[in-house]
Structure 1
Amino acid sequence: MKIIVVGPDDPFQKRLVQNVLDALHELQLECQLDVIHEMKDVLQFEARQLLLTPALIVDNHILCEGHIWNKKHIKHFLRHACGKNAA
């Protein structure tokens, strides 16, 4: 599973990254986590598919943009995604 967090290096993006890291740790999952925060890279990403940041993308699917999912919500999604991948 590949997880990407896109957004400028601000408190909102940092909080989303921390929520993802906490969820991965609590679920004992190892995933590729990319954090895209350089403004030129964020703008290129936004030009292709995003309207708002921060954004959480898992396996090329935009899960949220413009708001921050809490750890509980992220854990729920990751459990569901892992269950589907295992089947």
Structure 2
Amino acid sequence: MKIKVLGTGCKKCKELEQNVLAAVNEMGIEAEVEKVEDIRDIMSYKIMSTPALVVEEKVVSTGKLLSVGQVKELISK
């Protein structure tokens, strides 16, 4: 599974990355978690606000800090 956290490095973006890593660890799944900070790469996903979460190249959340539980729910879909 490939998961991306899109964000330029703000506090919420960093927290979302930590929550994604915790969710993956708690679920015991194999996933590649990538932090995308390059604005051109972020813009290619056509999102209007960060942080954003991308699972298997599909944007599943934008503009909010998700809890570990929320991340687990989105990953398991």
Secondary structure (helix, strand or coil) at the match of 2:30 reads coil
Between Structure 1 and Structure 2, how many residues are aligned?
77
- Quick check: which one's helix share is greater? 1
The CA deviation at 1:72 is 0.5
Match of 1:79 in 2: 76
Question: Please, which runs of 5 or more residues in structure 2 have no aligned partner?
Answer: none
Over the aligned positions, Cα root-mean-square deviation in angstroms equals: 1.4
Structure 2: which amino acid aligns with 1:43? R
TM-score (norm 2): 0.88
Which contiguous aligned blocks of 4+ residues in structure 1 show a shift greater than 4 angstroms? Answer: none
Identical residues among aligned pairs (%): 29
Match of 1:14 in 2: 14
Within a 5 Å distance, the mapping from 1:15-30 to structure 2 comes to 15-30=15-30
In structure 1, what is the Cα distance between the partners aligned to 2:45 and 2:70?
26
- Give the conservation status (yes or no) of the 8 Å contact 2:4–2:36: yes
The CA deviation at 1:10 is 1.6
In structure 2, what is the Cα distance between the partners aligned to 1:44 and 1:27?
28
Structure 1: which amino acid aligns with 2:46? Q
Match of 2:58 in 1: 61
Structure 1: which amino acid aligns with 2:35? V
Choose 1 or 2 for highest CA Rg. Answer: 1
- Give the conservation status (yes or no) of the 8 Å contact 1:6–1:55: yes
Relative to 1, partners in 2 of residues 1:26 and 1:69: Cα closer, same or farther, differing over 3 Å?
same
